[in-house]
Amino acid sequence: MVPIISIILGLLVGALVMIFSGYNPVNGYIALWNGIFGDAYAIGETIRQISPYILAGLAVAFAFRTGLFNIGVEGQLMVGWFAAAYVGSAFTMPMYIHLPLSLLAAAAAGALWGLIPGLLKAKFRVHEVIVTIMMNYIALHVVNALIKTVSGGGFKTEKIQPTASLRSDFLSNLTDYSTLHYGIFIALSMVIVMWFILEKTKTGFELKSVGFNENASHYAGMNVNKNIVLSMIISGAFAGLGGAMEALGTFGNMTSRGGFTGIGFDGIAVALLGANTPLGVIFGASLFGSLKYGANNMPNAANIPLEIVSIVIALIIFFVASGYIIRVAILRMNKKKEAK
Amino acid sequence: MSFLEVLYFIIPTSIAYAAPLILTAIGGVFSERSGVVNIGLEGLMVMGAFIGIIFNLAYADVFGSWTPWIALLVAMLVSAIFSIMHAVASVSFRANQVVSGVAINMLGIAIALFSVKMLYGKGQTDFIQNKIPRINIPILQDIPILGPMFFKSVYGTSIIAIAVAIIAWFVIYKTPFGLRLRSVGEHPMAADTMGINVSKIRYTAVIISGGLAGIGGAIYSQTMTGDFGHATINGQGFMALAAMIFGKWHPIGAMGAALFFGFAQTLAISAGSIDIDFIQKIPTVYFHILPYVLTILALAGFIGKANAPKANGEPYIKGSR
């Protein structure tokens, strides 16, 4: 109940912001809607945008289930992006090896970036929130330096080989020549992988158990530290694959960046909104991916700066975080109804 | 360039880079000492940087050379008001403080960019004409060696930052308010039994942190960049957070760490032009990541033990154990 109320509140406050800024919220939201579902091309691009959001959301959600807050998805995603772009462009191989290898490289890079905070948490009880934030900035600078090295002083990596590409003529033609690629199927299969790990394996049971109560899990004979590290590795791997979506599907290379992609931070919102369940992540990613892509239509169609959507997303996170007060409000309203 | 000339360049620049970090990190010390985790420092700084610039642009004709200073005050006020959101969420609504902080960060940059587009119709503002001036301090600047290092062409804001650090130390360790602040962050229930209003102290602390981060952001934009765009504040808030932790939640420690991070940033930017062989050979990426790596090492206990306030990040619920 809380996520839905939060979305409504976020959209309402967003509308208020538009009114106070002298824009027409109805036109704004119509432009947003058309930007998402307007035609086949828009739908294709929206789905393309959703795939990295699903993976970023899975990464945050998976760590959450073990009681870990992985704010480092952003950095893990960036190293994954670079790894995929590098492996995708530097080698010549047949497709059935090259594509999986590039994806694997991205997952491994992300996992490595998740391993460090995981180890520090397990060995030294260092809070993973601070370490992952710091790892984000380290990733940003290291990736930029690596791009410079790989490209011989340039600002972007070479285009990936066609054998490593996720591009799909079929999907592209289907959606009026959008950049929709096969990544969405990888993202959806990872949703199933997360569900399978958490619900159908012993490892998943242990991970969740550590998330519920570390001490009880320890008492029951589980290796808490091992599970913390494992959770961060898997979470990082999901994030790295999110980067591969950008490298192998959407952009085909990586350009050096002045700041973050924002996908990793939005992943926090996706996971929160989806209550950290695999299915919920699809829902959250669809919402935020659509909002983000649809916003591009707002400046042209309604003359409203597209940042309004970032305001709405931030507000939704704020309201989800303040879920306690929303639950209290619902409780009060129900009581009043009973009294009548 | 001789070694001394290098120092004459590096030290004032380091202090200039450190000033915004010092103020913001001290804001963080206030908030976290009271038990409220404040990841939102970055967003509060963005808000300060943004307000500083637009106020400066709009009122440069009215206030003349006073404009940047009044802009600092306005930025402080607006960021303090903005931080109330974080206070309400973390203290009254019992929100997850990290999540609320993330929301503040996203909201800060979104509101700032939205307003910039609305006001100026483009992605960044114009450049301000009235930057914060560099001043020479009379008499002190004539001291040999130390004079040119610390007192020639310094920003007045750097002096303010160091003064604020000392005042903060006094307030936190030598006044009743400071004692209450620390007790609320260590053991809110004990403080509550002694008749201290936990919520009130925490609200005050978060608002102070908002105000200081606001000044920090406005100093950064009015000394370093001169305009406001999406990358004006790019990790300064998180670096301040790092300085706070590296300084072990102590105002003077945070100041020391911020000065050191300012030094690392200066090296990263100017390493190529410094004529010292071993510095030129180090790739700049190492200077860029130095503050973050050091923070991780500090947290892992390799550089002394850093202990966060006990009740940091936990909402206080009356009557719960």
Q: What is the DSSP string of B282-311?
A: S-HHHHHHHHHHHHHHHHTTBTB-----TT
Looking at mean pLDDT, say which of A272-281, B161-170, B298-307 comes out highest.
Answer: B161-170
Whether B200 and chain A come into contact, CB under 8 Å, resolves to no
Q: What is residue B183's predicted lDDT score, i.e. its pLDDT?
A: 94
pLDDT tens profile A309-331: 999 989 998 998 888 888 888 88
Better-scored residue on pLDDT, B270 or B73: B73
Question: Measured between beta carbons, which residues in chain B are less than 8 angstroms from residue A315?
Answer: 103, 107
Whether B93 and chain A come into contact, CB under 8 Å, resolves to yes
For residue A56, give the nearest of A284, A263, A304 by alpha carbon.
A263
**Domain B3-299 falls in which CATH fold?**
ABC transporter involved in vitamin B12 uptake, BtuC (1.10.3470)
The model's confidence at residue A340, banded by pLDDT at 50, 70 and 90, is: low
Q: Which of residues 272-291 of B touch A (CB under 8 A)?
A: 283-285, 288-289
pLDDT tens profile A153-202: 888 888 888 888 888 888 888 887 788 888 899 999 999 999 999 999 99
Instruction: Evaluate whether residue A13 is within a structural domain.
Output: no
Tokens of A35: 């930007």
CB atoms B289 and A317 under 8 Å: no
The model's confidence at residue B138, banded by pLDDT at 50, 70 and 90, is: confident
Whether A300 and chain B come into contact, CB under 8 Å, resolves to no
Where b means 16+ CB within 10 Å and e means fewer, A99-111 reads bebbbbbbbbbbb
Please give the average per-residue pLDDT across B207-215, as a whole number.
96
Q: How many domains does one find in chain A?
A: 1
Contacts of B173 (CB under 8 A, 6+ apart): none
Nearest-CA distance A170 → chain B (Å): 37
Q: What is residue A55's predicted lDDT score, i.e. its pLDDT?
A: 95
Q: Judge residue A226's burial from the number of C-beta atoms within 10 Å of its C-beta, 0-12 exposed, 13-18 middle, 19 or more buried.
A: middle
Q: What is residue B26's predicted lDDT score, i.e. its pLDDT?
A: 96
Q: Identify the residue whose tokens are 């309604």.
A: A302
Cα separation, A75 vs B19, in Å, equals 27
Nearest-CA distance A244 → chain B (Å): 24
Q: What is residue A2's predicted lDDT score, i.e. its pLDDT?
A: 81
CB atoms B285 and A69 under 8 Å: no
The residues spanned by each domain of chain B are 3-299
What number of other Cβ atoms are within 10 A of residue A255's Cβ?
13
Question: Measured between beta carbons, which residues in chain B are less than 8 angstroms from residue A141?
Answer: 285, 288-289
What number of other Cβ atoms are within 10 A of residue A197's Cβ?
19
Residue B247's SS3 state is coil
CB atoms B111 and A311 under 8 Å: yes
Judge if ipTM > 0.85: yes
Instruction: Evaluate whether residue A154 is within a structural domain.
Output: yes
Instruction: Evaluate whether residue A262 is within a structural domain.
Output: yes
Q: What is residue B116's predicted lDDT score, i.e. its pLDDT?
A: 93
Q: Judge residue A335's burial from the number of C-beta atoms within 10 Å of its C-beta, 0-12 exposed, 13-18 middle, 19 or more buried.
A: exposed
Whether B245 and chain A come into contact, CB under 8 Å, resolves to yes
Whether B296 and chain A come into contact, CB under 8 Å, resolves to yes
Residue B200 has pLDDT above 90, yes or no: yes
Contacts of B197 (CB under 8 A, 6+ apart): none
pLDDT tens profile B47-83: 999 999 999 999 988 888 889 999 999 999 999 999 9
Residue A100 has pLDDT above 60, yes or no: yes
Q: What is residue B206's predicted lDDT score, i.e. its pLDDT?
A: 96
Residue B215 has pLDDT above 70, yes or no: yes
Instruction: Evaluate whether residue A208 is within a structural domain.
Output: yes
Residue B130 has pLDDT above 60, yes or no: yes
Question: Measured between beta carbons, which residues in chain B are less than 8 angstroms from residue A21?
Answer: 114, 118
Whether A327 and chain B come into contact, CB under 8 Å, resolves to no
pLDDT tens profile B90-124: 999 888 888 899 899 999 999 999 999 988 888 88
What number of other Cβ atoms are within 10 A of residue A149's Cβ?
12
Better-scored residue on pLDDT, B172 or B60: B172
Q: What is residue A191's predicted lDDT score, i.e. its pLDDT?
A: 95
Cα separation, B242 vs B248, in Å, equals 10
Tokens of A14: 């967003």
Instruction: Evaluate whether residue A305 is within a structural domain.
Output: no
Domain span including residue A100: 54-281
Residue B114's SS3 state is helix
> What is the identity of the amino acid at A75?
G
Please give the average per-residue pLDDT across A79-100, as a whole number.
92
Tokens of A234: 């898997």
Cα separation, A4 vs A172, in Å, equals 33
Question: Measured between beta carbons, which residues in chain A are less than 8 angstroms from residue B105?
Answer: 265
For residue B35, give the nearest of B149, B170, B200, B195 by alpha carbon.
B200
For residue B73, give the nearest of B211, B225, B264, B248 by alpha carbon.
B211
- A:B CB pairs within 8 Å: 129
Share of chain B above pLDDT 90, in %: 48
| 8-state DSSP, B132 | P
Identify which of A71, A141, A305 has the shortest CB distance to residue B118: A305
Q: What is residue B294's predicted lDDT score, i.e. its pLDDT?
A: 82
Instruction: Evaluate whether residue A310 is within a structural domain.
Output: no
CB atoms A133 and B238 under 8 Å: yes
Q: What is residue B319's predicted lDDT score, i.e. its pLDDT?
A: 74
Please give the average per-residue pLDDT across A201-225, as a whole number.
91
Q: What is residue B303's predicted lDDT score, i.e. its pLDDT?
A: 60
Please give the average per-residue pLDDT across A81-93, as a whole number.
92
Backbone angles phi, psi at A314, to 5 degrees: -60, -40
Looking at mean pLDDT, say which of A48-52, B9-13, B125-129 comes out highest.
Answer: A48-52
The model's confidence at residue B152, banded by pLDDT at 50, 70 and 90, is: confident
- Give me the helices (H) in chain B, please: 3-33, 41-63, 67-87, 97-120, 146, 156-174, 176-186, 188-193, 198-220, 236-246, 251-270, 277-281, 284-299
The model's confidence at residue B274, banded by pLDDT at 50, 70 and 90, is: low
Residue A258 has pLDDT above 90, yes or no: no
Please give the average per-residue pLDDT across A58-77, as a whole number.
93
Residue A112 has pLDDT above 80, yes or no: yes
Residue A81 has pLDDT above 90, yes or no: yes
pLDDT tens profile A217-240: 999 999 999 999 999 999 999 999
CB B52 within 8 A of CB B76: no
Instruction: Evaluate whether residue A319 is within a structural domain.
Output: no
Q: Which of residues 51-70 of B touch A (CB under 8 A)?
A: none
Identify which of A134, A315, A317 has the shortest CB distance to residue B292: A134
Q: What is residue A174's predicted lDDT score, i.e. its pLDDT?
A: 81
